[in-house]
Amino acid sequence: MSLAESPFCCPCFHCLSSMSAALLFLPYWFIDRLLSCVVFTTVDHSHGFLLRFLCLVFGVPFFLLLFLLSLPLGLFGFLFWAPLQRARRPFAYQRTLKDQDLPKLTRGTECPFIFISANLCLLPDGLARFSNLSHTQRRTRAISRSLCCSPESTEQNGKDTQPVCRTEDVMPMIRMPRKAEEDSRAEDDVHFEVSMCFPRNADFVCLQEVFDARASSKLRRCLRPFFPHILYDVGPSGPHSCGFKFFNSGLFLASRHPFAAVEYYFYPNARGEDALASKGLLCAKVHIGVTENMQRIVGFINCTHLHAPESDAEVRCDQMSMLLSWISDFQTKHREDGEVIAFDVLCGDLNFDNCSSDDCLEQKHKLFSVYRDPCRDCAGRDRLGTMGTLLRADSLYHEAVNTPANLKRTLESETDRRLYIAPPLPEGTDETGAHWTGRRIDYILYKESSSLLPLNVKKFQFISQLAGLSDHIAVSLHFSVSLPGAEPL
């Protein structure tokens, strides 16, 4: 049975929720503008003292007055919005195409898949400024164009281009399969690459920190010609058993392939600023195709964003233990007899790296005995060719990293990389060995098991196209699976 698009079982609840959210928008926007007049980015500082002075003297009282005037209207909307959040499903679903017959895939072929994961920091503008980012809506438009355009259509100087929409990009199908014997590279022979552009024809895009509702709407509108199936507004907000949640999880999953089942699991152990958002684990089962004897071929995708404060290693370890249990429960519940499982992937921002001594607890977690990290050599050491994915916040707009082309050149130089990638923790320490990685906190992991199809990792990319738009570097995993014979696994 297809997933319903609305998070509410009753259309009246959906309309009432939309109306109450509209009433809440004005006070929300005014308080966001007020915060933007107080928190300044390095770009704001470069504009001189006078502009900042005017924002403080005139902007703060102006937006504070507007907020107070709009507050009664917002409180009225809140009376309806808050209880409705307890009645909604913890995700919404956008479906562009109606259900279609799944493609039939012949045995002995190799089917390629491309995953993208990126933290976009699409918070309300005032909060994004704490990460030295601003203009959330403007960044969203640029990010959407970046995700939709192809490498061939992107200029080498790193400027934004308009997406080229092709008919075949709309169809949720697997690209032309190849014979497995055509590629004889060893399974561990992963090619690491710094790319200036997002890969074309990605199958799945997992995004984190898409907290702003208008940003989410812009992303969906731009991605819908390329990804017919999108999960958004993931996670509960409003009153919750663990306290009031001002934001949802920020997770956003776009797919070329239809979803067969989706569930969201909430982390109950958040602390500090992370307790304001309902972070958790999004589990999805997707339909890929059918074998010659009509066995369904499916894949499992798991997206998450772990606890952020650097000192709370125990919280992150507990969350990793929870997610392993939840993934097992989800797959046990939704796996059907006779299905062929193509892949089981876990991606997202895990908020720890594999080189910092402060993160040794997370590095040794049993998660890495279940899922494989293609960038990891062992606990505490990354493979040659990998690099950090968290940029230094104070240098986001330096010439060396403010365009995709410049950031690519910087990432390819280990000397320059040390200046702009966040260093290992604790600060002041350095990594052992000749290869310097920095904080690599964005992951795409995959499972290897006898119950899964043979998987061959081709390439892992570090993508510089979000230069100046996010404080994270996007990553992409390219792999293929070899289809079996007619017998079920």
| Collapsed DSSP state (helix, strand, coil) of residue 81 | helix
- CA dihedral (354, 411, 472, 199) positive or negative: negative
Compute the chain's Rg from CA coordinates: 23
Residue labelled with tokens 């504009």? 47
Assign residue 158 a region: left if phi > 0, alpha if psi is -120 to 50, beta otherwise? Answer: left
CA atoms within 13 A on the CB side of 155: 7
Quote the CA–CA distance of 375 and 185 in Å, as a whole number.
17
The three-state secondary structure class of 113 is: strand
CA pair distance 74, 281, nearest whole angstrom: 31
How many residues are given for the chain?
489
Coil, strand or helix at 149: coil
Task: Specify whether the CB–CB gap between 356 and 428 falls below 8 A.
Answer: no
Q: How far apart are the first and last CA of the chain?
A: 24
Q: DSSP of 214-259, one letter per residue?
A: HHHHHHHHHHTTT-SEEEES-S--BS-TTS-BSB----EEEESS-E
Task: Give the tokens for residue 224.
Answer: 């819908």
Name residue, tokens 């990891």: 376
Residue appearing with tokens 């990804």:
227
DSSP 345: E
- Dihedral angle, C-alpha 311, 317, 319, 325, nearest 10 °: 180
CB atoms under 10 Å from CB of 182, counted, come to 8
472 is catalytic: yes
CA 258, CA 229: separation in Å to the nearest integer?
Answer: 6
Q: Which of 229, 287, 307, 472 is catalytic?
A: 472
Q: Select from 476, 462, 467, 478 the least CA-distant residue to 143.
A: 467
Could you give the CA distance from residue 438 to residue 359 in angstroms, rounded to a whole number? 12
Residues 24 and 81: beta-carbon distance below 8 Å: yes
Residues forming the active site: 472
